[in-house]
Structures are given as C-alpha cells and as structure tokens.
C-alpha cells in the first residue's frame, strides 16, 4: 500500500466515521439498559464494549485488511495477532466504569501505530458529542457531533505552555497515592478528575497541563489519546523521561507509568 494515505486526513476521516458508528452502538445499548459482566482480569465488560468492537474490527478489515488489529475485548479472549511494524490499537469503550455509572466520560479509541509510535488517532466521546483527532505532522482538531453525526466544523486544537501553577488531570476510578504524591510535590492543587482518554484530550486542547499516570494501563487505553496529544504539540514519556512506545507484545501490551504533558 502507498504510505501517503496512512498519514493524511483521509485516513483520519475514515477512522472518525468508524468511531462515530461505534459510538452509536454504545449509546443504543445505554438506551436499552446496561448489563455488565466481569472479565478474567476482574475488569467490567458490557454488551456495548462487545458490539462496538465487532463493528470496528469489521470496518477496519474492510478498508485495511493488511493491517493487524490489537483490540481490547479480543485480546481479553486470547486473540492477539502478531502486531508487526504497523498495526491498529482499539479500545471500543474506554471508561467502562463511567459508562456503567451513567457518566459521560467514556470514549472510543482507535490508533494506528508504526515503528512503536502512535502515528495517528481518533478519540470519540459519544455521550458528549465530541471527537478529537490528530496525526503526526498533520496537527490535531476537535469537532462536535450534530444529531449523532460529525458536523464538519473542525476546530484546530493545541497544547499550551504550562500555566503557573499548572493544572493537572487525573483518573476518577484509578487515582492512587503515587499520583497524589506527585501532585503534592509540585504544589499542584488544581486537578480535574475525568475518565478515559479524555484526560489526554484535555491536555491536547489546552484545558490542562499535565496528566501523570502510575497505575496499570494497556496500550489500547493510551495510543489514540497519545496520538492526538502529540499532534497537538504535547508529549508522553515514561517515568524515566524516555519515549513512550507501543507494540510491547512480550509484556502483553501492558504499559508502565507515564507523564503526559502540554508544551
């Protein structure tokens, strides 16, 4: 395949459409009533996770059959194809706990990884009617949904230089003592609690300055938000200030701790 389409707005547009369709599946499940189960790792799963992932996998296979897909629910069931140099990372419903509670802080995450880097990504917040997208060298943008469809009114977004004092964003469901200590050591008291990849997006659009994460995450939790943030001028590093990479098959696609920052 010619590499050009993989790094252009044309691919982002297609991924955005796929994410919106998955978001519609999720909201339809919510309207019918949410029933949750428990996976082997003790994390929750719903019909919405499964329906959205099925739609995304089918759609990606129709358009890019040659690109492997690492997706959360399939991975939980032991279906992990060889990732290769280039692959998709998919979380069909990031923030399942927020979804079950009836909150709006859940997202659909789709990212393309190449040579360990998140090349491009889309993050859809279906209950908020917002979609974030970004690609390396292409910048990042946000658009709102109207009547459940993309409006076409895109607003470029950009990470900001850190405010003084900085504003942090942190997990609602997974905030731990390491996070609290990190914030206290830096005198950060302005902290926004939110679920899912929206934390990356808040930093990407300049509504927050830093997102520290010490607890466990998976690559599909972070790749799309990372791609958006990087395209917006921000960065993500591990706790030793090294590049945060993807494709860690030997580790089961588990992430270590990281710090996401604006400019």
* 139, 143, 148, 149 alpha-carbon torsion, rounded to 10°: -60
Number of H helices, E strands in the chain: 7, 16
CA atoms within 13 A on the CB side of 207: 13
pTM for the full predicted model: 0.93
Nearest by Cα to 108 from 202, 19, 201, 231: 19
89-129 pLDDT, tens digit per residue, is 999 999 988 999 999 999 999 999 999 999 999 999 999 99
Nearest by Cα to 171 from 206, 208, 140: 208
Specify the higher pLDDT residue, 163 or 8. Answer: 163
Give the pLDDT score at 211.
Answer: 98
C-alpha dist (Å) from residue 236 to 44, 158, 213: 27, 15, 11
10-64 pLDDT, tens digit per residue, is 899 999 999 999 999 999 998 888 777 766 565 767 899 999 999 999 999 999 9
In the DSSP assignment, the letter for residue 44 is E
Radius of gyration of the chain (CA): 17
Task: Give the Cα separation of 144 and 132 in Å (integer).
Answer: 9
Pick the range with the lowest mean pLDDT from 31-45, 179-193, 235-249.
Answer: 31-45
Percent of the chain with pLDDT over 90: 77
8 A C-beta contact, residue 128 and residue 107: no
């Amino acid at each position: 395949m010619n590499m050009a389409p993989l790094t252009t707005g044309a691919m982002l547009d297609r991924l955005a459409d796929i994410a919106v369709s998955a978001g519609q599946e999720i909201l339809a499940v919510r309207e019918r009533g949410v029933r949750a189960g428990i996976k082997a790792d003790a994390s929750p799963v719903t019909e919405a996770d499964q329906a959205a992932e099925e739609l995304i996998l089918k759609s990606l296979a129709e358009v890019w059959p040659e690109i492997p897909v690492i997706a959360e629910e399939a991975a939980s069931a032991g279906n992990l194809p060889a990732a290769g140099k280039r692959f998709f990372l998919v979380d069909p419903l990031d923030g399942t706990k927020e979804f079950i509670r009836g909150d709006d802080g859940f997202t659909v995450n789709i990212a393309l990884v190449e040579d360990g880097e998140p090349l491009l990504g889309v993050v859809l917040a279906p209950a908020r009617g917002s979609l974030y997208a970004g690609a390396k060298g292409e910048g990042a943008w946000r658009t709102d949904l109207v009547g459940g469809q993309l409006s076409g009114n895109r607003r470029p977004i950009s990470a900001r230089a850190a405010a003084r004092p900085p504003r942090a964003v942190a997990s609602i469901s997974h905030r731990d003592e390491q996070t609290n200590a990190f914030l206290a050591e830096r005198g950060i008291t302005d902290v926004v609690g939110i679920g899912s990849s929206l934390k990356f997006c808040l930093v990407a659009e300049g509504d927050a300055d830093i997102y520290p994460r010490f607890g466990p995450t998976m690559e599909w939790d972070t790749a799309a938000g990372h791609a958006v943030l990087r395209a917006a001028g921000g960065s993500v590093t591990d706790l030793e200030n090294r590049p945060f990479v993807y494709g860690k098959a030997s580790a089961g696609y588990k992430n270590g701790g990281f710090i996401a920052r604006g400019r």
